[in-house]
């Protein structure tokens, strides 16, 4: 069983406009909404591929009720901790003419100490039957920067393989706990190692250093350039297939979903890496967030090559 945790869940809304004009009235041509947050997106992709997932996180207020309702409508399994404050809304505005995306992300609720303790108790209980645990996204207010590190330590004591996908202080603290997988993008790894401009060699050296600390899979998602992976057996470059990009929001989550899904089935790491890139690309082909189809992923796999460098 795979469990994903989204501490800062949201309602994800996508609005399409003909041309976004700042400071003027903009007419929305199309709109959609779904329960969201990075861990939710990861779970959505795993289920689409045929896996089983439990989604955990915090929900509160009318937005929290709506998140739960939307996910239940998708037949996704949730076990949320109820909180006092309201969940956030994340709005993506797509310019149909330029395909540019503008994101407006609310901060979200402040978590109380007793709510956080309920979450830790839930994590321990969930560890009784989980094999992989995915920790994704930003930390809500009221939660310490070492929150993910605390959870990683708890889960590793139970023999659970943990994937971490976050940024900033949450990533720096989480890395110290040595999760099984990390998946920073270029901006996140730049923050982590203190460099504003990164070459492939910078990524390789950072990946080797992190892997030698004890992180089994260091995965760098590079958008249209594919991805770079480092593990104890070597360094691998995976190309991205040629696609028509509609919406890249959630592609990193789809990437992680494909990776975890295949690893949880016992697949070879090279196969899992290819599935990660295929899922990220399949997401980018769709306007909706993390709504990939297995058939689309399998089609893209034929265009993906992996090279040991």
Q: Say whether 212 sits in a helix, a strand or coil.
A: helix
Neighbour tally for 228: CB within 10 Å = 23
Average pLDDT over residues 173-188: 92
Residue 161 maps to which CATH number?
A: 3.40.1190.20
Q: Encode pLDDT of 228-246 as tens digits.
A: 999 999 999 999 999 988 8
Residue 41 exposure: Cα atoms within 13 Å on the Cβ side = 29
Two structure tokens written together for 107: 């901060």
d(CA 264, CA 305): 22
Q: Are 54 and 77 in contact (CB under 8 A)?
A: yes
Residue 212 has pLDDT above 80, yes or no: yes
Residue 289's pLDDT is: 84
Whether 236 maps to a domain, the answer reads: yes
Q: Encode pLDDT of 32-68 as tens digits.
A: 999 999 999 999 999 999 999 999 999 999 999 999 9
Q: What percent of the chain has pLDDT over 90?
A: 84
Whether 25 maps to a domain, the answer reads: no
Two structure tokens written together for 125: 């209980």
Helix or strand run (H / E) with residue 237? strand 234-238
Q: Are 256 and 134 in contact (CB under 8 A)?
A: yes
Whether 133 maps to a domain, the answer reads: yes
Residue 16 has pLDDT above 80, yes or no: yes
Residue 191 has pLDDT above 90, yes or no: no
Average pLDDT over residues 221-225: 88
Q: What percent of the chain has pLDDT over 70?
A: 100
Whether 277 maps to a domain, the answer reads: yes
Triad 46, 48, 53: Cα angle to 5°:
40
Whether 124 maps to a domain, the answer reads: yes
Range of the domain at 257: 2-20+30-308
Using CA atoms, how far residue 96 sits from 18, 23, 297, in Å, is 5, 18, 25
Residue 185's pLDDT is: 79
Residue 99's pLDDT is: 83
234-238/306-308 β-pairing: antiparallel
- In total, how many domains does the chain have? 1
For the chain, the distance separating the N- and C-terminal CA atoms, rounded to the nearest angstrom, is 33
Whether 212 maps to a domain, the answer reads: yes
Residue 88 has pLDDT above 90, yes or no: yes
Q: Are 298 and 258 in contact (CB under 8 A)?
A: no
Whether 50 maps to a domain, the answer reads: yes
């Amino acid at each position: 069983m795979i469990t994903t945790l989204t501490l800062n869940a949201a309602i994800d809304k996508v609005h399409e406009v003909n041309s976004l004009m700042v400071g003027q009235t903009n007419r929305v041509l199309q709109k959609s909404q779904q329960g969201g947050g990075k861990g939710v997106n990861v779970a959505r992709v795993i289920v689409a591929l045929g896996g089983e997932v439990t989604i955990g996180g915090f929900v509160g207020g009318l937005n929290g009720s709506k998140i739960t309702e939307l996910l239940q409508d998708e037949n996704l399994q949730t076990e949320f901790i109820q909180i006092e404050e309201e969940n956030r809304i994340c709005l993506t505005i797509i310019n149909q003419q330029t395909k540019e995306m503008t994101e407006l992300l609310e901060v979200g609720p402040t978590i109380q100490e007793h709510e956080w303790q309920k979450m830790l108790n839930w994590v321990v209980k969930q560890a009784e039957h989980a094999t992989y645990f995915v920790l994704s996204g930003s930390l809500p207010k009221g939660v310490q920067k070492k929150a993910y590190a605390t959870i990683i330590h708890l889960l590793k004591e139970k023999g659970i393989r943990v994937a971490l996908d976050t940024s900033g202080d949450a990533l720096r603290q989480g890395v110290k706990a040595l999760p099984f997988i990390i998946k920073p993008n270029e901006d996140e790894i730049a923050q982590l190692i203190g460099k504003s401009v990164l070459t492939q060699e910078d990524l390789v050296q950072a990946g080797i250093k992190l892997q030698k600390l004890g992180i089994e899979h260091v995965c760098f998602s590079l958008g249209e350039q594919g991805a770079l992976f480092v593990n104890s057996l070597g360094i691998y470059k995976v190309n991205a297939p040629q696609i028509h990009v509609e919406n890249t929001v959630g592609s990193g989550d789809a990437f992680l979903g494909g990776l975890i899904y295949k690893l949880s089935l016992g697949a070879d790491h090279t196969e899992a890496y290819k599935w990660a890139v295929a899922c990220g690309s399949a997401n980018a082909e769709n306007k909706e967030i993390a709504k990939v189809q297995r058939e689309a992923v399998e089609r893209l796999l034929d265009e993906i090559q992996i090279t040991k460098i």
